Structure 1
Amino acid sequence: MEAINILLVDDQHLVREGIKSLLALRPGLHVVAEASDGRQALSCLDSHPVDVVLLDIRMPVMSGLEVLESLGESSRAVNVLVLTTFDEHELVLDCLRLGARGYLRKDVTLDALVKAIHTVARGEHWVQPAITERVASAWPEYPASDSVHTPLSAIETQVLQLVAAGYSNEEIARATHKSVGTVRNQVSSILGKLNVRDRTRAVLKAMDMGLLY
């Protein structure tokens, strides 16, 4: 098993110490750097090889959302797992829109946290089931128990994976050697089959249904 290097970002020293101590109990997980705010986190990314960023949201100087925005603007490929006490549905969606690969509350078990870290380190997505249910309940058109009425095709699944990775229609078109119009139609078909109204909700529902790996 390859070691996973982790950047731990939280403004509370005791929280960082606690998380670091727990992760030290599991082989292959190494906290290689710590930061108490978003600005420090970005600086750490410049000086440490990091596989996963465990990122708090509400911090002084620079928030977790601002870190995600900065990473998106710089096109830096970083696997971010949000670990916070807040689970408001709009905040979850904002983080996913901005490129976070996972979202957990701090009351999660160590086993679930370790599993999420490994999942995100592989470039996959992980959202705590209780959170997906909470977000789902915010929109009548997106009940968490829904299934896909019409299965996604292989190319639609590929397109959905690229959407989840944050690719635009133009980038997906280049990656799949299709026209932008074709990709736009495929995305529309995916939204229809998943019964959602935008790309972020499609990704969230697909994760909830186990369609993204």
Structure 2
Amino acid sequence: MSVDVRVQRTRTRLREAVVRLAADRPVEDIPVADLVRAARVNRTTFYQHATSPAAVLSQLLYEDLDAMRADLIAGFAASTSPPRAIWERSAAAMADHLDRFDALYTAGLVGHRSATLYRLLVDHFATTATTFLEQNPALLPPGEGPLPWRTKAHGAFLAHGTAGVVEAWLSQPSPRDHALFISAAVEVLPPWALGR
């Protein structure tokens, strides 16, 4: 089913406006009044699309991250590459995503200013890592608890560490070195995640 042109136009306006505004301050600090003014829509129209500026931004970023993860997961399943190469491809895709939305991630994550962006990235990384580990259970180290729990716990561990690498990389001056991000994102992984 196709989306009505007016609905799509409003959604585009809201997304473009929230990206512009979030480049200057954390999305949690953007009042609805500022967003509707920047998007040239009224409050009623806004609330037909979202509950908050953070919801608009999250929807936009999740769509980009979900598409990226779908490509990576398809690559995981079809790949005969070693785990390290898969993690490197994943980190390269993330560096590209961070570049596309550089100003808003810098405004929100440098100095820990946006819990919304941090949580969004942790959710993305946890889902991606958990999916990778579900497809490669032999990588998990032995330990207590059932496999599904250990997969989830190890995925969460990897997610929070990767979010920390993102924050550290964003604190570097622009333009940022992708090779530095990729190297750091892979080198902080524990040996078991790299198949060692």
**Alignment TM-score, normalising by the size of structure 2:** 0.31
Q: 1 or 2, which has the higher helix percentage? A: 2
Q: 1 or 2, which has the higher strand percentage? A: 1
Q: Which has the higher contact order (CA 8 A, sep 6+)?
A: 2
Structure whose CA Rg is larger = 2
**Alignment TM-score, normalising by the size of structure 1:** 0.29
